[in-house]
Amino acid sequence: MILTIFLKELKDTLRDRRTIMMMVVIPILIFPLILNVFIGISSSFEKDAANKTITIGVIGEKNGFISNTLSKTPEQLGKCKIKFYADSASLIKDLQIDSIQMGIYSSKTFEASLIEKKPTPIICYFNGTDIGIKSRAEKYISYIEEKALNKRFKELKLEPSKVKPIVPLYVNIASDKEMLGKIAGGILPYIFIAFGFIGCMYPAIDLFTGEKERGTIETLLTTPISRLQILFGKMGVVVLSGLLASSFALIGLFLSIEMMDVIKNEQLLNVVHSIMTIRFILTLFLLLIPLTIFFAGLMIPIAVYAKTFKEAQSIITPLNIVVVLPAMIGFFPGIELNLSTACIPVINVVLSTKELIAGTLNLNYLLISFLVMGFLALISVFISYKQFGKESNILT
Amino acid sequence: MIQVSELRKEFKLNKKQRQELQTKEKTTTAVNHISFKCEPGRVFSLLGPNGAGKTTILRMLATIFAPTKGEITICNLNAKTNAAEIRNKIGFLTGSTGLYSRLTPHELIQYFAALYKVPNNIFNKRAENLYSLLDMHDFKHKRIGKLSTGMKQKVSICRTMIHDPEVVIFDEPTSGLDVITAENIIALIRDCKSQGKTVIFSSHIMSEVDLLCDDIAIIHKGMLLFNDTMDSFRKQMTSKNLTAEFIQIIENS
């Protein structure tokens, strides 16, 4: 009987355009669309920034070391023009109105200090809101510093290698997979949690509040099936919708990676491919199933209680923020899956997924996370059953 | 057969409802001391103004609501202990019954037949008979959402009768329907009676009651004011017509 109800509700749900939009179309299209726009805009910005000729304001001598060095900068640092200023106030003013993009101030004693082989400061002005200008300014300053250093080595007749006794080498022992998991792994659980929630939302409201609103629940309750069977049949569809929405969102993300050249680094792309194993997908669903049941169990009592579609929507939508916000914890580095975090719902799923991607998942913590989510799912099903059984709730 | 004795139904009131009703009571009594009997092959009518408690009684008969007190026996089965078996024997139709608009009539009838565990071969025969009887062949595969009110009501009738119930409960079945559609319902009630089914229907339209019923119960504010045969009601009448008599009983209560 549960299967009969499940199949009927599934058919009914799949014929609802609004649910199909939320369950299939939006999840599968959102990432290709967002990434397409994002990559398009950012690559065009990068291109523009690299090709842009910037004007550097210089306070110092016209034939001095700084202006001479800047006029001979190699093309890979980007083209630049020099404009001389007498004081820093007018330079800053021009920087503010973007008539110049960076400024270099050297004191009047700069040239003399160079000759006397003394250290001398130079000040670099830039506008931090101008994206990419800081790194470009650093490149120019490093170039000037390198030229001054080489000049001094020559004058002192020194080999550069002889004044650098230690050559440090930094070795990262974390694998690329681990790095990807810990740094970017937060996005994956966020996606499936957010879409899992949205995927459950419309069918939950449609199958419970909608049934009340349309006046179909009364006839269903006069059939010989129990309310528990009705609840399970309907809940099955709500859970399946959540799982499908999450899965379609993940499919959308992976299609974007495969087809839109999102990851340019081939090594990184290989790491992404190596993550997508059967074991990974199965473990992900092991966490997703109790999570989606928990979501369904949260929404169904509300949907049963609400008298209209609007009322249900107005209660469930803020719940979205409460549930999905903890999923953002995955974006913060340094928060690890341990005994405490494994006991916190939603957060345990996020951190377990991150660890799963990184390949550092502790099976004990995975089990605890699964048990915690399973327990909460059971409680939420029980609450749904209690609410669905209330006479005051099931009929308007 | 339906037997009801000393039926009482209380509903809990929440804070908002208490404010609306301007009461401090935590419960409200919708139905009290209701007893009656409906015989097979006869049409029993529950008559009362809006809010009298008719729907509450019918929902208790259909085991949607549990009575606070009292006994309901349907087809010799106790409603408290044999709710599922009773639901298997009843058909329930209301004037405001909704249908699944994204399904076709055939899919909907098939779904309800499955819920009532009607075997496939019997379903096919019965569905075919009902489709012919109700002239549903032209629209049985169209989405319900695209059907007219009359067509939808035919689907509802078909849904009510697909498991061939022994007892048929109609809750204001013609409410809000046009004359032609209402006529289908009246024809169905007559058919049920001629087939020896127990029929109970609620209404506040006296002419409808006069046309169809054998036994009558008048209720007001949850209390039973009159319960006898239609013939006896007519004999006791002091007013010029049935509607006036009904109003007089209500006003005198």
- Confidence at residue A377, expressed as pLDDT on a 0 to 100 scale: 87
Domain boundary among A163, A192, A210: A163
> CB distance B97–A395 less than 8 Å?
no
Structural domain contains residue A288: yes
Both A93 and A184 in a single domain? Answer: no
> CB distance A224–B84 less than 8 Å?
yes
> CB distance B107–A214 less than 8 Å?
no
User: Which residues in chain B have their CB less than 8 angstroms from residue A8's CB?
Assistant: 100, 103, 107, 111
Both A183 and A306 in a single domain? Answer: yes
DSSP string, A221-265: HTSSS-HHHHHHHHHHHHHHHHHHHHHHHHHHHHHHHHHS-----
Comparing alpha-carbon positions, the chain A residue that sits nearest to B96 is A215
Q: Per-residue confidence at B249, pLDDT binned at 50, 70, 90?
A: confident
- Express the helix, strand and coil content of chain A in percent, nearest 5 each: 70, 5, 25
Domain B2-252 in CATH 3.40.50.620: no
Structural domain contains residue A227: yes
Instruction: Check if B101 contacts A (Cβ < 8 Å).
Output: yes
CB A294, CB A196: distance < 8 Å: no
Domain ranges of chain B: 2-252
Q: Per-residue confidence at B127, pLDDT binned at 50, 70, 90?
A: very high
**Tokens at residue A346, please?**
């939603």
Question: Mean pLDDT over all residues of chain B?
Answer: 88
Cα B148 from Cα A194, distance rounded (Å): 40
Structural domain contains residue A48: no
Least CB-CB distance to B98: which of A1, A216, A222? A216
Cα B220 from Cα B207, distance rounded (Å): 18
For each of chain A's 396 residues, which pLDDT tens digit applies? 899 999 999 999 888 888 888 888 888 887 778 777 877 777 777 677 767 788 999 987 788 888 888 888 887 788 888 999 888 889 999 999 889 999 999 888 888 888 888 888 889 999 888 877 888 889 899 999 999 888 888 888 888 777 778 888 988 887 777 777 777 677 788 888 888 888 899 899 999 998 888 888 888 888 999 889 999 999 999 999 999 998 888 888 878 777 766 666 677 777 777 777 788 888 888 888 888 998 998 899 999 888 888 999 899 888 888 887 888 887 877 788 889 889 988 888 888 888 888 778 888 998 998 899 889 889 988 888 888 878 777 665
Closest CA of chain B from A12, distance in Å: 6
**Tokens at residue B250, please?**
């209500």
Cα B76 from Cα B78, distance rounded (Å): 7
Closest CA of chain A from B210, distance in Å: 27
Domain boundary among A163, A184, A217: A163
- For residue A77, what is the domain's CATH number? 3.40.190
- Confidence at residue A264, expressed as pLDDT on a 0 to 100 scale: 67
Residue with tokens 């035919």: B154
CB A303, CB A312: distance < 8 Å: yes
- Confidence at residue A396, expressed as pLDDT on a 0 to 100 scale: 59
Structural domain contains residue A44: no
> CB distance B97–A8 less than 8 Å?
no
CB A20, CB A14: distance < 8 Å: yes
User: Which residues in chain B have their CB less than 8 angstroms from residue A216's CB?
Assistant: 97-100
Cα B152 from Cα B170, distance rounded (Å): 16
Higher pLDDT, residue A130 or B155: B155
- Confidence at residue B163, expressed as pLDDT on a 0 to 100 scale: 93
Amino acid A141 reads I
Both A244 and A269 in a single domain? Answer: yes
Both A155 and A203 in a single domain? Answer: no
Instruction: Check if B90 contacts A (Cβ < 8 Å).
Output: yes
> CB distance B115–A223 less than 8 Å?
yes
Both A269 and A211 in a single domain? Answer: yes
- Confidence at residue A3, expressed as pLDDT on a 0 to 100 scale: 92
Both A14 and A63 in a single domain? Answer: no
> CB distance A224–B97 less than 8 Å?
no
Least CB-CB distance to A12: which of B12, B96, B102? B102
DSSP string, A47-103: HHHHHPPEEEEEES-TTSHHHHHHHT--GGG--EEEEE-SSHHHHHHHHHTTSSSEE
Domain hosting residue A256, numbered range: 2-32+176-394
User: Which residues in chain A have their CB less than 8 angstroms from residue B59's CB?
Assistant: 218, 395
Both A135 and A205 in a single domain? Answer: no
- Confidence at residue B12, expressed as pLDDT on a 0 to 100 scale: 84
Domain boundary among A130, A163, A196: A163
Structural domain contains residue A45: no
Both A212 and A134 in a single domain? Answer: no
Q: Which of A76, A81, A94 is nearest to A54 (CA)?
A: A81
Please tell me the total number of residues recorded for chain B in this structure. Answer: 253
- Confidence at residue B142, expressed as pLDDT on a 0 to 100 scale: 94
18-47 in chain B: CB under 8 A from chain A: none
Q: Per-residue confidence at B24, pLDDT binned at 50, 70, 90?
A: confident
Both A124 and A227 in a single domain? Answer: no
User: Which residues in chain B have their CB less than 8 angstroms from residue A388's CB?
Assistant: none
- Confidence at residue B135, expressed as pLDDT on a 0 to 100 scale: 85
Number of domains forming the structure of chain A: 2
**Tokens at residue B122, please?**
């019997």
- Cα angle: A172, vertex A176, A182; to 5 degrees: 90
> CB distance A218–B94 less than 8 Å?
yes
Give the residues across from B215 on adjacent strands: B44, B229
- Confidence at residue B198, expressed as pLDDT on a 0 to 100 scale: 92
Both A218 and A146 in a single domain? Answer: no
Cα B98 from Cα B153, distance rounded (Å): 9
Interface predicted TM-score (ipTM) of this complex, two decimals: 0.86
Q: What is the DSSP letter of B180?
A: H
Amino acid B19 reads Q
Cα A360 from Cα B30, distance rounded (Å): 63
Q: Per-residue confidence at B209, pLDDT binned at 50, 70, 90?
A: confident
Specify the pTM: 0.79
Both A193 and A312 in a single domain? Answer: yes
